[in-house]
Amino acid sequence: MRGYARATVLACVGLLAACAAPGPGGLKIDRSIQAVSQSSRVSVVVLHYTVADTPRALEILSKRNVSSHYLITDETPPRVFQLVDESRRAWHAGESAWYGRSDLNAASIGIEIVNRGPENGGWQPYSDAQIDTLITLLRDIVTRHQIHARNVVGHSDIAPQRKQDPGPAFPWKRLAEAGLARWYDETRAMQRIQHYQSSGLPPVRDIQEKLRRAGYPVELSGTLDAATRKVLAAFQMRYRPARHDGEPDAETLAILDSLP
Ligand SMILES: [Zn+2]
């Protein structure tokens, strides 16, 4: 008995919070045994730009009916604010889908980056310091929640009909080089460009199926409608930002074929 009591005390030293916290109505809840079969509820990270500057973004994201877990400012050095606990739902994704899953607020962490977005016909760049900060933050999040690189996405990936953020100025390749986002096999893409240049592009339905296999929410309508063009534009902004007009071309198809 004495030995058992000592073991319990030792267990409580290790699991101090678990043992000390009483349950509701004074219930004693024993949290000393934790199941091996469990995982994080978070499987996606969504990146956004704020359009607003830091003070305004903080005001909007903390006091209105929109929020994010983190905000990275454009100060030197950037500051990181956590506005919502990771265990809770932030309201950042809106109507969206990725690999067929909707209600992404329930399964994602949202990171807002202070950037004005489209401006005077161009796009404001992100600073290296912002991206370095993001990479440090993301590496920790992705490791703790075991998030796959293909599930680190932009708002425009999951809501291509409504959103453009983080925009074509966002350096996705830097994130990919840090192992934190998906990128394509560039050698294979070169070969596929030649293939499409000599054989022509596939039917629109095939293009839609390829986009869907890459995670994008797109109807298999078989016609190059406005909705499909928006999905293509979102894809291009991320992987071929030099031209993101939503027009299918050999390079876009080649990249689509070369995703891991
Ligand atoms: Zn957004």
Q: Does residue 119 carry a catalytic annotation? A: no
Q: Both tokens of residue 127? A: 């600073």
pLDDT value for 218: 98
Arithmetic mean of pLDDT, 88-106: 97
Question: CA-CA distance, 217 to 158, in Å (whole number)?
Answer: 7
pLDDT value for 5: 46
150 C-alpha vs ligand 1 centroid, how far in Å? 18
Homologous superfamily (CATH) for 44-177: Peptidoglycan recognition protein-like (3.40.80.10)
For the chain, the domains span: 1-31, 44-177, 186-257
Q: Tell me phi and psi for residue 178, to 5 degrees.
A: -85, 5
Catalytic choice (75, 95, 112, 219): 112
137 C-alpha vs ligand 1 centroid, how far in Å? 18
pLDDT digits (tens, 9 = 90+) for 8-39: 444 445 555 545 568 889 899 999 999 999 99
155 C-alpha vs ligand 1 centroid, how far in Å? 5
- Asked if 19 contacts 12 with a C-beta cutoff of 8 angstroms, the reply is yes
DSSP for residue 77: S
CATH-assigned architecture of domain 186-257: Orthogonal Bundle (1.10)
Question: CA-CA distance, 17 to 19, in Å (whole number)?
Answer: 6
pLDDT value for 195: 97
User: Mean pLDDT score of the chain, rounded to an integer?
Assistant: 93
46 C-alpha vs ligand 1 centroid, how far in Å? 8
Question: CA-CA distance, 255 to 192, in Å (whole number)?
Answer: 8
